[in-house]
Amino acid sequence: MTGTATPAAAWPAPAPGAAPLRRMVAAQAGLEFRTLARNGEQLLLVLIIPVLLLAAFSHEPLVNFGPGKRIDFLAPGILALAVLSTAFTSQAIATGFERRYGVLKRLGSTPLRRSGLITAKTLTVLAVELLQSAVIVVVGLALGWRPHAGGGAVAWALLLVLAGTSAFSGLALLMAGTLRAEATLAAANLLYLVMLGLGGVVFPLTRFRAAQPGLKLLPAGALSDGLRSVLQHGSGLPVRDLAVLTAWAIVSIAIAARTFRWE
């Protein structure tokens, strides 16, 4: 039995090479997002815990927040907690175990460069924060939150969130790139609890009196204080808080870039 050979011109010519960087970054970001969405522990950390805290503390007189409605004080702090949980705790733990199991080493052998991987992780963090913020805002409004939502307030809040994301991401990569995965897991969860208690998220920084100036220099304190200043009190851009977050971002990212061990 004989057949007719297909002309070579009918087949497309092979075109070896890497896909465009934008497509590789989008594919990696999609993978990162799907991995996080399938991880129940991460969803508990980044979404369920902030919403539960918002609902619990907004109704029960567990803490004296001072004059005004509890929800008006609490909601900006929970938004800061959402950034902390996603950009720092979740990212530090995930990156630490990716490094331990050789995922980062394998990705290093692909055409996706380190800058592309960092960009993909950043896009994933921002996408998760957008989802978190939408859920928290909806729940907060349902509980009676009435934020200052003018154009200036929204712009300043977004700027603070971006600066806070950069600061916490830098700290996450610094920790995940220098410590063992188990140490990163323990330290990230411990710092999450410390910043939850001392970062002005659910407890006013004024309760700590002598330590208050120092706590305002921590990224959690600066972010929660700045968001509360804008969304609760309707003030202008909190330059001091933004400067603190920017300084943390610059220093942590610079150190992480020099010390991060990919293997």
Encode pLDDT of 65-109 as tens digits: 555 688 888 999 999 999 999 999 989 998 898 888 887 777 766
Instruction: Please check whether residue 3 lies inside any domain of the structure.
Output: no
Q: What is the pLDDT of residue 56?
A: 84
Residues 6+ apart with CB under 8 A from 85: 45, 46, 49, 50, 192
Q: What is the pLDDT of residue 179?
A: 92
Domain that holds residue 250: 21-59+66-259
Instruction: Please check whether residue 176 lies inside any domain of the structure.
Output: yes
The single-letter code of the amino acid at 142 is A
Q: Of 124, 122, 93, 259, which Cα lies nearest the Cα of 191?
A: 93
Q: What is the pLDDT of residue 163?
A: 94
Instruction: Please check whether residue 10 lies inside any domain of the structure.
Output: no
Instruction: Please check whether residue 209 lies inside any domain of the structure.
Output: yes
The phi-psi region of residue 69 (left if phi > 0; otherwise alpha if psi is between -120 and 50; otherwise beta) is beta
> The pTM is what?
0.84
Instruction: Please check whether residue 1 lies inside any domain of the structure.
Output: no
Instruction: Please check whether residue 94 lies inside any domain of the structure.
Output: yes
Mean pLDDT of 228-242: 90
Half-sphere exposure of 36 (CA within 13 A, CB side): 31
- Provide the Cα torsion 30, 21, 161, 220; round to 10°: 80
Mean pLDDT of 189-217: 88
Instruction: Please check whether residue 12 lies inside any domain of the structure.
Output: no
Secondary structure of residue 141 in the 3-state scheme: helix
Q: Are 203 and 63 in contact (CB under 8 A)?
A: yes
Q: What is the pLDDT of residue 182?
A: 93
Q: What is the pLDDT of residue 191?
A: 93
**What share of the chain in percent tops pLDDT 90?**
38
pLDDT tier, 7 (very low <50, low <70, confident <90, very high otherwise): low
Count the neighbouring beta carbons within 10 Å of the beta carbon of residue 113: 15
Total domains in the fold of the chain: 1
Instruction: Please check whether residue 13 lies inside any domain of the structure.
Output: no
pLDDT tier, 229 (very low <50, low <70, confident <90, very high otherwise): very high
Q: What is the pLDDT of residue 18?
A: 63
